[in-house]
Amino acid sequence: GDSVTQMEGPVTLSEEAFLTINCTYTATGYPSLFWYVQYPGEGLQLLLKATKADDKGSNKGFEATYRKETTSFHLEKGSVQVSDSAVYFCALSSMNTGNQFYFGTGTSLTVIP
């Protein structure tokens, strides 16, 4: 079935470093792809999304491009801040999942000053 595979963590970076969190998907159709962020003790917040191939989602300096040729939706940020420390989830939704969300396992990011 449709699914996402997400880079294992935890990831520790220094402030202002470049961030990449890898996410690849498996789907027979045309899924929508999402990145959610979860701060400690909180619910999930949408960070960005893309609903078709070649779309780029962006928000708060984070970007991800829906690449059908590599079945990927990697999350990037050019310069991370301490406040970006959180868990990041890649997610997929498609007709094959009954339009329900399939979440990746999450990647914990810690940014140190």
Partner 1 sequence: DAMVIQNPRYQVTQFGKPVTLSCSQTLNHNVMYWYQQKSSQAPKLLFHYYDKDFNNEADTPDNFQSRRPNTSFCFLDIRSPGLGDAAMYLCATTPGSASTDTQYFGPGTRLTVL
- Provide the minimum distance between the beta carbon of 103 and partner 1 in the complex, in angstroms, as a whole number: 4
Sequential DSSP letters for the chain:
--EEEE----EEEETT--EEE-EEEE-SS--EEEEEEE-TTS-EEEEEEE-STT-EEEETTEEEE-BTTTTB--EEESS--GGG-EEEEEEEE-GGGTT-EEE---EEEEEE-
Residues interacting with partner 1, by CB under 8 A?
Answer: 31-32, 34, 36, 41-46, 49, 51, 89, 93-95, 97, 99-101, 103-106, 108
- Provide the minimum distance between the beta carbon of 99 and partner 1 in the complex, in angstroms, as a whole number: 5
- Provide the minimum distance between the beta carbon of 79 and partner 1 in the complex, in angstroms, as a whole number: 26
